[in-house]
Amino acid sequence: MSPTNTFTILVIFCCAISFAFASDPDTLQDLCVALPSSGVKVNGFACKAEANVTEADFFFAGLAKPGATNNTLGSVVTAANVDKIPGLNTLGVSFSRIDYKAGGLNPPHTHPRATEIVFVLDGQLDVGFITTSNKLISKSIKKGEIFVFPKGLVHYQKNNGDKPASVLSAFNSQLPGTFSIAAALFTSTPTVPDGVLAQAFQIDTKQVDNIKAKLAPKKS
């Protein structure tokens, strides 16, 4: 076999491996219903005994109605992931519903383990994501339209209309994870040093403290 052919085969093989690991690993059995109480630490959850599996492990009614948007951001995400549907364990998919009041914002965030695709149920949204070359890709989308947010990239949705809006979101991970940029930087535990944030954002430490106070979780 010539060196050129060998190199070509190697490239194809590497690409195939890369594609295979682009999302959650494929399941090796019919089902593996999550059993968080097992205490076993694996990449996912240990499996419930198949004899104990029921239809309830594959069902969730939590997306049927709009969520409450009476918060400072005016939006709420209702997740339908493996934490809510144990039967999703190892299947590599999950779902969410996002509701926005007029003017509501789902603030800049990332999903480290999944690409997201949203379908607009009602209303109109301004959406966008930022590439690693710092380019903003944005668009206004309305009822019946779809937009995709690539895995790991910072993105947002904003309802600039005067009526409520809602979307359904699908992910290629049973637990995509959400990393909210502002909350992560200003409300982490332990906290990011004020000097780091002040220098990064070119503001003074008093302004950092003000932002931390505004973003701090509300005490019940």
pLDDT tens by residue, 172-186: 999 999 999 999 999
pTM score: 0.84
Decide if pLDDT at 23 tops 90.
no
Same domain, 201 and 121: no
CATH code of 87's domain? 2.60.120.10
Same domain, 70 and 143: yes
Total domains in the fold of the chain = 2
Same domain, 95 and 142: yes
Structural domain of 201: 188-215
pLDDT range class, residue 41, cuts 50, 70, 90? confident
| 111 annotated as ligand-binding | yes
Domain presence at residue 19: no
Same domain, 106 and 198: no
Of 157 and 40, more confident: 157
pLDDT of residue 2: 60
pLDDT tens by residue, 133-154: 999 999 999 999 999 999 999 9
Helices then strands, each counted (H, E), the chain: 4, 10
Domain presence at residue 156: yes
| 71 annotated as ligand-binding | no
pLDDT tens by residue, 66-102: 999 999 999 999 999 999 999 999 999 999 999 999 9
| 106 annotated as ligand-binding | yes
Q: Three-state DSSP class for 52? A: helix
Domain presence at residue 123: yes
H or E stretch covering 208: helix 205-215
| 116 annotated as ligand-binding | yes
What token pair was written down for 218?
Answer: 């509300």
Residue pair 82/89 in contact (Cβ under 8 Å)? The answer is: yes
Mean pLDDT of the chain: 90
Same domain, 177 and 201: no
Count Cβ atoms within 10 A of the Cβ of residue 110 and give its class: 0-12 exposed, 13-18 middle, 19 or more buried: buried
